[in-house]
Every structure is written in structure tokens, then in C-alpha cells.
Amino acid sequence: MRTVKSYPEAWPLHSPFVISRGSRTEAHVVVVEIEQDGIKGVGEATPYARYGESEASVLAQIASQLSALQNGMTHAELQQALPAGAARNAIDCALWDLARQQQQITLTALCGVQLAPEIFTAHTISIDTPEAMASSALALWQHGARLLKIKLDDHLISERLVAIRSAVPQATLIVDANESWHAEGLAARCQLLADLQVAMLEQPLPADQDAALSNFIHPLPICADESCHTRDSLEALAGRY
């Protein structure tokens, strides 16, 4: 029989992470440990308040599957037992970690995929003064970052973007508004982004208001985030993003 533990952890951030919905100074995660025959698999996930999750709710979901996990729950059984979210994610990661250790192989070998030599990813700049955001962008560029994701709210949009573009004229920029903009004035803002050579705009409108994008002609790609959760979301998003 397996031994299962779950518990919360908090990790202080190097600097506050600020988006349109608020700021945080710590990363809160829920950790799952699954041990069998002296081998321990570990997984973790972050509860997402935007979708009604908390440390307590995630721990309760994990606890609801304790008996099944102790008695050998598989990945497939987990998919049926819990909805997508932090609890299922943390358990799933722990099961993968346990399995690859039991078989004494790497995770990529267990999954049957090749290890990528490198991964090209975006570095995020959280909301601050235009000067501070430009300084962050320049520092990231000097450390090799070439794709920057700029968090914005409904204020100082032009000032922040102009400062950042001036600091890193060659960087590829993505803007993420995290649902903080409104349909009124969106066309002008999109044109500003296009003029500053922003490559993509992410989730400008609240998820329940993105029908306004159905007939919207925009000069740059718009990407869904909070509006898209699973493949079942895709049909409703057609023609909007």
C-alpha cells in the first residue's frame, strides 16, 4: 500500500508580482508525496483563486482521493475521479515522478519523447512604473531574454509600452491585460500595440465579455487565456481570437 501526504508551502518571491487583478509576494503551492516500497514521487501545483481554488479546497480534493491513491490509483482513474485543476495536477505529477523512479528511467523516456535541447519561453514583466518596467525589460534583454511578456492593466498603457520599446527595440513583445480592458477603446489600443510592433495581445477583455471580439478587426493577433480552459472552450471562441 502507498503512503500519501499533502501539505501547503509558501515561497517568497524575489520581487512582487503584479497583474491587473492584484499583487503577490509569495508563491503558494500544494505538494503531494506518494511513497511506495521506499520510493517517493513528488508533485506540486498552485491553487488558482481566479477559478475558485484555495489551499484548503485543493487539500480537500486530494484528501477525497486518499483511499484510492493508497490502493494504487492510476493516471487514467485520476482523470475520471477529479476535474482539471490544481489537485489533479499535483497528484498527476507525483504519479509520474513515482513511476519514473520505480522504472529507473527518465521522465522523457517514460513518456516516449525526446528531450528538447532548449526551450524558448517568454519572460514576464509585472506591472510597475514605466521606468521600472523599462529597466526590467533591459535587464532581461541583457541576460539573453528575447521574448518578453508585458503585464498591463487599464492605466498608463502607452507610457509603459513606449518606455519598454525604447529600452529594448529589438525584443519580441507580448502584452497580457488579464481581462482588464473594455471593448470601448480597444481598437485604438490595438493600433497602438501594432505601431509599437507588439507581436500579440493576450486576453484583453473579461472572459464573459469577449463576444465583443466576434466582429472586431484587429491589426495584431489576439490570444485567449482566461476564456479558454479545455478543448470544449474552442467552439465558442471561433471568430473571436
Binding residues for Mg(2+): 176, 202, 225
SS3 per-residue string spanning 39-102: EEEEEEECCCHHHCCCHHHHHHHHHHCHHHHHCCCCHHHHHHHCCCCHHHHHHHHHHHHHHHHH
Going by the annotation, the residues of the binding site are 176, 202, 225
Cell of 239: 471568430
Residue 141 CB-density burial (10 A; 0-12 exposed, 13-18 middle, 19+ buried): middle
Do 23 and 16 touch, CB atoms closer than 8 A? yes
Q: Where are the beta strands (DSSP E) in the chain?
A: 3-19, 22-36, 39-45, 123-125, 147-151, 172-176, 198-202, 222-223
Rounded to an integer, what distance in angstroms lies between the CA atom of residue 125 and that of residue 157? 14
Rounded to an integer, what distance in angstroms lies between the CA atom of residue 42 and that of residue 97? 6
Do 84 and 230 touch, CB atoms closer than 8 A? yes
Do 148 and 140 touch, CB atoms closer than 8 A? yes
* Nearest CA among 199, 202, 208, 197 for reference residue 224: 202
